[in-house]
A = this chain, B = another copy of it.
Amino acid sequence: MSDSETFDIVVVGAGVIGVATAYYLQKNNPDKRILILDRLPAAGQANTAMSAAAVRNMFASSTNQLLTHTSIKCIEHIQNEIGYELLFEKTGYLWLLSDDQFNHESVQTWMKRMETSGIHYKVFNKEELKNMIPGLNVDFTNDEEAELMNLEEVSYGLFGGDCGVLDPTRLVEFYLEEFKKISDVKPRFGVDVEELLLSADPPLELPGEPYVWQNKLVTGVKTNKGVIHAETVVIATGAWANELLDPIGMNSQTKAKKRQMFVLHADEKEGLHKLLDSKGFNELNCIPFTILPSAGVYFRPQLQERGFWIGCGDKLGRAYHYKHTPSFDVAESSYYENSVYPVLSKYIPAFEGSRPVNSWGGGYNYSPDAIPFVYYENGVLVVNGASGSGIMKADAMARIADALYRGEEEAELFGGKKISSSALTIKDRDVEIESVVI
């Protein structure tokens, strides 16, 4: 152990989950020496930065409602009370739905559950939507292409005004700066954690231990810059949790798919400027984050650049992966052209002829119930499985992780609401299955 260092806690991953967790751990355990590690040159540069950077409280499960509602309130607090600019803009979220979709049991249940939880939403009908969204195509009659493409016609819009978009790297910076104020351990970047060190407890110094009859504990990490020991290792690596957990036989229960984002600018296209300036949804007088009825295609405004980010919820046909590969970082132009663009331009013909000016890819982590995991086993504190919504759940997940670390039965979320610290564990999981996943 002579050439290795020792900390109380090592946090692997400086994405939004990692820095938020490090912050609350340090705040509530001031004597602990907490080291943040990330393989990239700065914080929040991996999948946090690759997301659609949007937040919503419009979930169907009371669990996700609570996690996101409190985290978004915290985001508002950071921006409005503390005065730290996160570029949080309440664009709202708008689900465009067909008649069948709107009347489907799952959507009706979703709406009822939002009412029960006091989550505000509005329903717009087809005429209202046509008036509010310039150029929205709500009629596919005699459109053989649309029929071939299985596109559902827009009949309703389900809108949540407390949702919006933000700059996730600023949120990461906020937590990191707050962490640095109260920690005397400097975060380290460019450090690749290669494996978790699983040790016998107590160690007997036998060759090849730990054996099956020994108690085992994770006691640190092996990195490309040497071994670091810690009593607790926080796994906040999002989509890549399996890289570290599988080898020691811990089951993250999550797996990842590649997701892609394409940036379009309105430029000289009058129709896209009008779309961007859709009225009636929010105080910004802009188009909300909008989910189309078919194929999982969605878009969000990017007001500073007068443009849009376009994404798609990949399902059947997109492979699951367990490890990060370079192919994850790069968007596929054929995917935009063949899969995304045809759908987008059918619903909003103003997009016709638009080509991405930028694009990227990232890893999207699937949890089986679309609820995050936060558990503390074998010296490993796993904070994972946000299922594409890490930014909007990070604050709550981080507080729960800290409560688990301190052995508290309940975690206090922003605004004073409480949740059982074990609700998101594997062993004592107590959650509602989430049905509203993008």
Identify the A interface with B (CB < 8 A).
148-151, 198, 204, 206, 208-216, 242, 245-251, 253, 255, 257, 294-297, 312, 314-322, 334, 338-340, 342-343, 366, 368, 378
Contacts and interface: CB of A to CB of B under 8 A. Distances in A.
A246 B204 contact: no
A257 B149 CA distance: 42
Contact of A316 (B249, B316, B319): B249
B211 A342 contact: yes
B211 A338 contact: yes
Contacts of A204: 148
Given A213-B150, A317-B198, A208 B334 contact: yes
Given A198-B317, A248-B317, A378-B316, A149 B213 contact: yes
A217 B342 CA distance: 21
A206 to B, nearest CB: 7
Contacts of A215: 150
A212 B296 contact: yes
Nearest to A211: B339
A368 B317 contact: no
A247 B249 CA distance: 23
A248 B151 contact: no
Nearest to A148: B204
Nearest to A212: B339
B212 A340 contact: yes
A187 to B, nearest CB: 29
A339 B214 CA distance: 9
Given A213-B342, A338-B206, A343-B212, A249 B150 contact: no
B338 A151 contact: no
A322 B151 CA distance: 36
Given A208-B338, A211-B339, A338-B208, A319 B247 contact: yes
A216 B318 CA distance: 12
Contacts of A211: 338-339, 342
Contacts of A316: 198, 216, 248-250, 378
Contacts of A321: 246
A92 to B, nearest CB: 25
A80 B376 CA distance: 50
Given A295-B213, A339-B211, A249 B368 contact: no
A234 to B, nearest CB: 18
A187 B45 CA distance: 52
B251 A312 contact: no
A204 to B, nearest CB: 7
15 contacts: A148-B204, A149-B214, A150-B214, A206-B338, A208-B334, A211-B338, A212-B296, A212-B339, A212-B343, A213-B343, A242-B320, A246-B319, A249-B316, A251-B366, A316-B378
Given A211-B338, A213-B294, A216-B316, 14 more contacts: A148-B204, A150-B214, A198-B316, A208-B338, A211-B342, A212-B295, A212-B297, A213-B295, A213-B339, A248-B316, A248-B317, A249-B317, A251-B255, A251-B366
A109 to B, nearest CB: 15
A208 B333 CA distance: 12
Contact of A319 (B249, B366, B368): B249
Contact of A249 (B216, B242, B315): B315
B212 A368 contact: no
Nearest to A366: B251
A149 B248 CA distance: 20
